[in-house]
A and B are shown apart, each in its own frame.
Chain A
């Protein structure tokens, strides 16, 4: 079977600095894959390229066999590739409930239909029911009416992932899903990710700094250093590799 995500020889430079240099990797469906590397090694840039924020200078990106480099982020999302950000990007002035409801595309978003409630009410209710269910899964019950900016850091991370799941996400690019969270809670979040993988067959591609936590949950790890793929393999093999240790210590 073809991997769900394939990156082939992607390079990206910013004003002469090569942020990514011929990076190639592939991710199997239903796996949890880690992406590690010292600061400034190009991890977030890689996510930005995959998710369509920048087009790559060269190379190709395939998602479920479809070429996606050069597409806009919104089109890539519609295919089922969802990404989260290092700092949760919620809609701060809106309630948790609205943050959830806003995701699916619906008829009521057209300026011509929006004034006529009867034309979109049924669809809206269906979305609402799905949202209510997911809110239960993510344990955010009872805070639907809160402003998103009033949530705790961990809840914000959860809400962001929830938003991504509202509309058929298949592959999740998570940028430090447990950053700034106590180790116990971080383990909870990763346990949750693992559960989602098992229950729903989702695929995760995760950037994380804390290797000691990450290594317990991933199937496979890629190591980036100075924009290049330094090493790859199962978590145990990778941490033992000499060049990986050098790269981290040299940082």
Chain B
């Protein structure tokens, strides 16, 4: 048996954990809070990844005056050389594609809103599901982005760092900090008047409309943000693997994210992260299983996807609220209900203020 690289395992798990957490937080925003059945999450993930791959490769090649076709061997060799030369270029291209993939995926997500204006959750689901499949078929046959071969040689933002360990550690830290930003943003939104509005739309769309809310517009905004987040996850994925193929974006990926959201708890950002942690861990473990026992009767990949299906069904049947239960939207107005506590808090504040003044 070959030695098993524990550090490598943990670092790669951390990256995948971050990517999938971002995805499941974004799905939770759209589905868990707003009640839109996004069965096409993978499409926006793919859009982010392809935007990143295409733009960064084009940038590197064209900036250096090379006009190799994008998937040629020459291009890949050249990219390998160029990516270790100028750290500042790597990082600025990284930032550019990060923002770009957010906007790109977000805008397309917003436009997919058009049919969603007209149909209810079920058909919204079908539409985006098929949009994802169409996108994959398109990418598989569209030569300028490498068709079936995909994009290869995407320049890693930290390629200039010597040593695999520090490079991987650095990337894991970048991913984790992006996850932190996403989480804080989502958490703050959830506990704000906006979060309350989203839950109202989920509970009863018609009633929300009758309370003067422009429901389609709010949904569109949420789709913009959610798809943009998925785009960021795609960006990280493209840089981490360095190559992307259309077949990495099967519909099953969407449902893996669904399983994470359902397992962790719907309408709950902490739950989404917990679900992502558990399922990515299982995922990486089946990958490790594949490596340790190459001659299993059933392909471990099949087991992985079967598990996703089983988790979805079992959670829905036996623990529909997930591991962490949804809570009420906590806004400052809740303090009004505790008049006594509020009065005490005020008195305390005044006391402190007086003490400070006296000094």
Contact = CB atoms under 8 A, between A and B. Distances in A.
Contacts of B213: 74, 105
Nearest to B218: A109
B231 to A, nearest CB: 16
Contacts of B207: 85, 89-91
A106 B333 contact: no
Interface in A62-117: 72-75, 77-78, 82-83, 85, 89-95, 97-98, 101-103, 105-111, 114-117
Interface string B333-352: 11011000000000000000
A111 B221 contact: yes
B353 to A, nearest CB: 19
B199 A124 contact: no
27 contacts: A72-B209, A73-B206, A73-B209, A85-B207, A89-B204, A90-B204, A92-B203, A94-B196, A94-B200, A94-B328, A97-B333, A102-B193, A102-B196, A102-B197, A102-B208, A108-B193, A109-B194, A111-B222, A114-B188, A117-B332, A124-B193, A124-B331, A124-B332, A125-B333, A127-B333, A145-B337, A167-B212
B333 to A, nearest CB: 3
A98 B212 contact: no
Contacts, number: 126
B133 interface: no
Contacts of B184: 115
A151 to B, nearest CB: 14
Contacts of B1: none
A106 B333 CA distance: 13
Given A83-B210, A114-B189, A101 B194 contact: no
Contacts of A85: 207
Given A101-B333, A124-B332, A74 B210 contact: yes
B225 interface: yes
A142 B222 CA distance: 34
B336 A132 contact: yes
A110 B194 contact: yes
Top 9 closest pairs, chain A to chain B, by CB: A128-B333, A108-B193, A77-B212, A89-B207, A115-B188, A114-B194, A91-B203, A114-B192, A128-B336
A79 to B, nearest CB: 9
B184 to A, nearest CB: 8
A15 B67 CA distance: 62
Given A74-B213, A115-B188, A125-B333, A93 B193 contact: no
Given A93-B326, A111-B225, A115-B185, 17 more contacts: A53-B206, A72-B209, A77-B212, A89-B207, A90-B203, A91-B203, A92-B204, A93-B202, A97-B337, A98-B196, A98-B328, A101-B331, A105-B212, A106-B193, A111-B189, A116-B188, A117-B332
A28 interface: no
A127 B196 CA distance: 14
A108 B200 contact: no
